[in-house]
Chains A and B, each alone.
Chain A
Amino acid sequence: MTATTLIQNLPAGDAVATHKPILRERGQHEVFCGLTSIIWLHRKMQDAFFLIVGSRTCAHLMQSAAGVMIFAEPRFATAIIGERDLAGMADLNDELDGIVERLLARRPEIRMLVLVGSCPSEVIKLDLDRAAGRLNKIHAPDCRVMAYSGSGIETTFTQGEDNFLSALVADMPAEEPDAGPSLIVVGSLADVVEDQFTRILQGFGVRKIAFLPSRTSRDLPPVGPNTRFILAQPFDNVTAQALVRRGAQQIFGPFPYGEWGTTGWLRAIAEAFDVDPERFAAITGPGRNRARQALEHYRGQLAGKRVFFFPDSQMEPSLARFLHGEMQAEIQEVGTPYLHRAHVAADLAALPETVQISEGQDVDRQIDRARAAEPDLIVCGMGLANPFEVEGYSTKWSIEFVFSPIQGYEQAGDLAELFARPLVRRSRLKVEA
Chain B
Amino acid sequence: MELATWTYEGPPHVGAIRIAASMDGIHLVLHAPQGDTYADLLFTMIERRKTRPPVTYTTFQARDLSGDTAEIFKTACTDAAERFSPDVLLVGASCTAELIQDDPGGLAKTLGLAMPAVPLELPSYQKKENWGAAETFYRLVRACAGSERRDRPESAQRVCNILGPSSLGFRNRDDIEEVKKLLDLLGVEVNVIAPLGASARDLMRLPDAGFNIVLYPEIAGSAAKWLARIHGQELVTIVPIGVGATRDFIADVARVAGVDPQPALAAGERLSWYSRSIDSNYLTGKRVFIFGDATHAIAAARIADEELGFKVCGLGTYTRELARDVRIAAAQYGVEALITDDHLAVEDAIFAAQPELVLGTQMERHVAKRLRIACAVISSPVHVQDFPARYSPQMGLEGANVIFDSWVHPLMMGLEEHLLQMFRDDFEFNDETQASHLAAVAPKGYGTAAVDGPEPVSTHQDIKLQAAPEALAWTEAAEKELKKIPFFVRGKARRNTESFAVERGVNPITIETLYDAKAHFGR
Chain A residues packing against B (C-beta within 8 Å): 27-36, 55-57, 59-61, 63-65, 67-68, 70-74, 76-83, 85-86, 90, 92, 95-96, 98-99, 102-103, 106, 119-120, 122-124, 151-154, 156, 191-192, 195, 199, 286-287, 289-291, 293-294, 297-298, 364, 382-387, 390, 409-410, 413-414, 417, 433
What is the distance, in angstroms, from A108's C-beta to the closest C-beta of chain B? 16
In the complex, which residues of chain B have a beta carbon less than 8 angstroms from the beta carbon of A106?
344
Structural contact, B62 and A386, CB atoms closer than 8 A: no
Tell me which of A81, A153, A291, A414 contacts B34 (CB under 8 A).
A153
Tell me which of A82, A152, A387 contacts B2 (CB under 8 A).
A82
In the complex, which residues of chain A have a beta carbon less than 8 angstroms from the beta carbon of B42?
64
Instruction: Give CA–CA (A77, B129) in the complex, Å.
Output: 19
Quick check: which of B46-54, B240-248, B253-261 contacts chain A, the rest being far away?
B46-54
Structural contact, A60 and B14, CB atoms closer than 8 A: yes
Interface flag for B59 (CB, 8 Å): yes
Instruction: Give CA–CA (A123, B79) in the complex, Å.
Output: 27
Structural contact, B512 and A286, CB atoms closer than 8 A: yes
In the complex, which residues of chain A have a beta carbon less than 8 angstroms from the beta carbon of B512?
286
Q: How many residues of B contact A (CB 8 A)?
A: 75
Structural contact, B1 and A79, CB atoms closer than 8 A: yes
CB closest chain-A residue, reference B347: A106
Which of A27, A61, A153 gathers most chain B CB within 10 Å? Answer: A153
CB closest chain-B residue, reference A93: B1
Quick check: which of B284-292, B320-328, B496-504, B513-521 contacts chain A, the rest being far away?
B513-521
Can you name 16 A-B pairs with beta carbons within 8 Å?
A: A35-B35, A76-B5, A79-B3, A79-B4, A80-B4, A86-B99, A98-B1, A102-B3, A103-B3, A123-B65, A152-B61, A153-B60, A156-B35, A192-B481, A298-B522, A383-B37
Structural contact, B128 and A56, CB atoms closer than 8 A: yes
In the complex, which residues of chain B have a beta carbon less than 8 angstroms from the beta carbon of A414?
523
Interface flag for B125 (CB, 8 Å): yes
Instruction: Give CA–CA (A68, B33) in the complex, Å.
Output: 25
Instruction: Give CA–CA (A364, B362) in the complex, Å.
Output: 34
Structural contact, A156 and B1, CB atoms closer than 8 A: no
Structural contact, B33 and A151, CB atoms closer than 8 A: yes
Instruction: Give CA–CA (A261, B381) in the complex, Å.
Output: 43
Structural contact, B3 and A77, CB atoms closer than 8 A: yes
Total CB contacts across the A-B interface at under 8 A: 226
Instruction: Give CA–CA (A385, B48) in the complex, Å.
Output: 10
What is the distance, in angstroms, from A194's C-beta to the closest C-beta of chain B? 10
Extra pairs beyond A32-B38, A36-B38, A123-B96 (15, CB < 8 Å): A33-B36, A56-B128, A57-B13, A68-B385, A74-B5, A77-B4, A85-B1, A154-B62, A289-B519, A383-B41, A386-B49, A386-B50, A387-B52, A410-B518, A414-B523
Tell me which of B34, B79, B126 contacts A83 (CB under 8 A).
B126
Instruction: Give CA–CA (A287, B6) in the complex, Å.
Output: 44
Structural contact, B95 and A120, CB atoms closer than 8 A: yes
Within residues 97 to 130 of chain B, which ones have a CB less than 8 A from any CB in chain A?
99-100, 123-126, 128-129
Interface flag for B204 (CB, 8 Å): no
Structural contact, A152 and B36, CB atoms closer than 8 A: yes
Structural contact, A28 and B59, CB atoms closer than 8 A: yes
Which of A36, A92, A122, A409 gathers most chain B CB within 10 Å? Answer: A122
CB closest chain-A residue, reference B84: A364
Structural contact, B523 and A123, CB atoms closer than 8 A: no
Which of A34, A65, A123, A199 gathers most chain B CB within 10 Å? Answer: A123
What is the distance, in angstroms, from B38's C-beta to the closest C-beta of chain A? 5
With A73-B370, A386-B50, A387-B44 known to touch, is A364 a contact of B3 (CB < 8 Å)? no
Instruction: Give CA–CA (A384, B48) in the complex, Å.
Output: 11
Tell me which of B34, B41, B45, B344 contacts A156 (CB under 8 A).
B34
Tell me which of B6, B37, B61 contacts A63 (CB under 8 A).
B6
Instruction: Give CA–CA (A369, B114) in the complex, Å.
Output: 27
